[in-house]
């Protein structure tokens, strides 16, 4: 387990987050969460506890009914365009359901996120090669993703997420569809490939994933509490 890097300002700060959909029941209730640079945090709790909603709010995909989010010390912009730019510049996602271009190579899939940020093609290619090396796929760079195994595809997603050098990596059940041995390889890749200053917030039901994290935040009936990792 790594030690969180000290930071003058939190890398990610959620304050008083409460949320409900329309006039329905409250899904989240007054959640506070502060994460410093380099820290890894597991978000755990039973189905329906609000994990997915909190991850969506953290990732600026959902606007909370109440409360605020700050990223790198900056408030989230009010405009859709400003929120979109902040997501592009500061976030990466690793999903349970893999989202890749199957007909394109692993190298192409990793480059695409950087190109959307305006990184030059040459730099994107260099960084993609390094990212694929970091997750153990140096020999698979030029293979179409559809020819790779499930664990290899998930590692392509991790390479893509880390190559853009985000401030925040959000992972939603990254091992949910993998067997134990493959999960261990994927987790080693995720922990090993991310930038030392990147925040990792992972929603999971897997206690082995939670054990790898510096902290565990448990959600129950929409309320958050700290738990031992």
Q: What percent of the chain lies above the pLDDT cut of 90?
A: 73
Which CATH number characterizes residue 95's domain? 3.40.50.300
Q: What predicted TM-score, i.e. pTM, was given to this entire model? A: 0.86
pLDDT category at 9 given cuts 50, 70, 90 is: low
User: Which domain does 202 fall in, by range?
Assistant: 12-227
Whether residue 5 is contained in a domain is answered as no
Rounded Cα distance between 199 and 95, Å, is: 16
Q: What are the tens digits of pLDDT across the range 105-146? A: 999 999 998 998 889 999 999 999 999 999 999 999 999 999
pLDDT at 173 over 60: yes
Q: What are the tens digits of pLDDT across the range 44-101? A: 999 889 999 999 999 999 999 999 999 999 999 999 999 999 999 999 998 765 678 8
Rounded Cα distance between 148 and 218, Å, is: 35
Whether residue 1 is contained in a domain is answered as no
Q: What is the mean pLDDT of the chain?
A: 90
Whether residue 106 is contained in a domain is answered as yes
Q: Is 168 within 8 Å of 201 (Cβ atoms)?
A: yes
Rounded Cα distance between 69 and 63, Å, is: 9
Whether residue 2 is contained in a domain is answered as no
In degrees and rounded to multiples of 5, residue 49 shows phi and psi of: -85, -10
Whether residue 114 is contained in a domain is answered as yes
Please give the structure tokens belonging to residue 74.
Answer: 């900056």
Predicted local confidence at residue 1, as pLDDT: 40
Whether residue 131 is contained in a domain is answered as yes
Rounded Cα distance between 198 and 170, Å, is: 10
**Strand pairing class (215-220; 223-227):** antiparallel
Predicted local confidence at residue 97, as pLDDT: 59
Count of structural domains, the chain:
1
Rounded Cα distance between 131 and 129, Å, is: 5
The distance from CA 193 to its chain's CA centroid, rounded to whole angstroms, is 13
């Amino acid at each position: 387990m790594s030690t969180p890097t000290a930071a003058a300002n939190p890398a990610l700060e959620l304050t008083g987050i409460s949320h409900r959909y329309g006039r329905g029941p409250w899904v989240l209730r007054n959640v506070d969460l502060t994460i410093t640079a380099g820290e890894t945090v597991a978000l755990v709790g039973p189905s329906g506890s609000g994990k997915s909603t909190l991850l969506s709010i953290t990732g600026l995909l959902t606007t909370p009914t109440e409360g605020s989010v700050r990223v790198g010390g900056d408030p989230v912009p009010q405009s859709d365009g400003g929120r979109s730019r902040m997501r592009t510049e500061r976030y990466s996602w690793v999903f349970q359901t893999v989202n890749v271009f199957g007909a394109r190579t692993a190298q192409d899939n990793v480059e695409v996120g950087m190109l959307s940020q305006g990184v030059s093609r040459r730099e994107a290619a260099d960084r993609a090669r390094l990212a694929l090396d970091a997750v153990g796929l140096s020999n698979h760079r030029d293979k179409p993703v559809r020819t790779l195994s499930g664990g290899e595809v998930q590692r392509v997603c991790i390479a893509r997420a880390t190559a853009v050098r985000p401030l925040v990596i959000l992972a939603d059940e990254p091992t949910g569809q993998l067997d134990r041995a493959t999960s261990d390889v994927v987790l080693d890749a995720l922990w090993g490939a991310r930038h030392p200053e990147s925040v990792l917030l992972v929603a999971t039901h897997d206690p082995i994933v939670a054990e790898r994290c510096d902290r565990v935040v448990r959600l129950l009936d929409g309320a958050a509490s700290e738990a031992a990792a």
